Amino acid sequence: MGIGSSVTSASLATPAEKGSRAAGTKTPSSSRPRMTWAAIGLVPFAVYVFLFLLLPTVLALGSALFADDGSLTADNVLALFDPLVQQTFVNSLWLSAVTALGGAVIGGLVCYALLGVRENGIARALVDAASGVLAQFGGVTLAFTFIATMGAQGVVTVLMRDTWGINIYEDGLWLYEVPGLIMPYLYFQVPLMVITFMPALAALKPQWAEANLTLGGTRWSFWTTIGFPVLLPSFLACTLLLFANAFSSFATAAALISQGSQIVTLQIRTALTSETLLGRENLAGALALGMIVIVGIVMTAYTVVQRRAARWQQ
């Protein structure tokens, strides 16, 4: 297009168009939002969020705050202050905290060891694949695995007892109690930590280490002054994610602990299925509401910490 045609098009423009061009703004026709196929792709995700997040939250809130006749009541929420119910929350909290911290430390060490492995190597690919599988390996299958190996008549238990005379259950069958859930939970917590923390560790820039060496620093000074401070937000965010994961776990604990309701998720099952809680059918909703509040606080803290961690990964 030549200069003459440009002048002609400019002279034929309306005053409104000239004003919008002078102001550097778009015309109304170009600023209209258009539906794209990418937006339609969000529909399945929106349906998933509604069915598995919003709807259960509304049902838990309704069953906790309303009686069967539809009247508003606080009896179900007040049941959360029962000493037995509070003990189940305490058990769930310390179990989640211990397995989250243990999984974060062990998984962090695994990630650190992977720094010495080629990113496209076989060892790295095997660890990534195993972590992806084992992070989802839970429930009845994981419980059966520990019963077959570490149970009262498990392979490892019998081998240690007959070969070295070591009876790991001399003080009781701890595998079928809350302390016995620590090892099964770590089994999927550690791989989850590897999946979530490895990208942050791999994002450390080599220029930072080179600058540290140029200034006369050592490897220890690099980690204490640069590596650990930079990775701390990501480490805390991953630990909070592991805490929420352990706090909401149910199937593995349900398969191992058949007697009693020692954690919150098992207490919810008892409230829904037991015949001894007649007249308190909405207790399960109150327990679920308590879990939603705790998980909401944890995930809010996770979001705040993750935003800080994302500054160093840009």
Give pTM, 2 decimals. 0.80
pLDDT recorded at residue 183 = 93
List the one residue out of 292, 294, 309, 293 whose CA is nearest residue 53: 292
CA distance 243 to 305: 14
User: Dihedrals φ, ψ of 66, to 5°?
Assistant: -125, 145
Taking the CA atoms of 215, 218, 222 and 225 in sequence, report the sign of the dihedral they define: negative
Contact 106, 190 (CB under 8 A): yes
List beta partners, residue 72.
Answer: 66
pLDDT recorded at residue 10 = 43
CA distance 203 to 210: 15
CA distance 16 to 203: 50
pLDDT recorded at residue 194 = 94
Please, what are the domains in the chain?
57-311 (1.10.3720.10)
pLDDT recorded at residue 17 = 47
Contact 263, 253 (CB under 8 A): yes
Which tokens is 196 given? 């979530």
Length of the chain counted residue by residue = 314
DSSP string over the chain: --HHHHHHHHHHS-HHHHHHHHHT---TTTTS----HHHHTHHHHHHHHIIIIIHHHHHHHHHHHB-TTS-B-SHHHHGGGSHHHHHHHHHHHHHHHHHHHHHHHHHHHHHHHHTTS-TTSHHHHHHHHHHHHHTT--HHHHHHHHHHHHSTT-HHHHHIIIII---TTTT--GGGSGGGGHHHHHHHHHHHHHHHHHHHHHTS-HHHHHHHHHTT--HHHHIIIIIHHHHHHHHHHHHHHHHHHHHT--HHHHHH--SS--SHHHHHHHHHH-SS-TT-TTHHHHHHHHHHHHHHHHHHHHHHHHHHHHGGG-
pLDDT recorded at residue 187 = 92
pLDDT recorded at residue 9 = 43
CA distance 196 to 280: 40
The rounded average pLDDT for each run of 10 residues, N- to C-terminus, in the chain (314 residues) is: 43 47 49 64 85 84 76 79 90 95 95 85 88 86 91 90 89 87 94 92 83 83 85 91 93 84 87 66 84 90 81 62
pLDDT recorded at residue 97 = 96
CA distance 56 to 311: 34
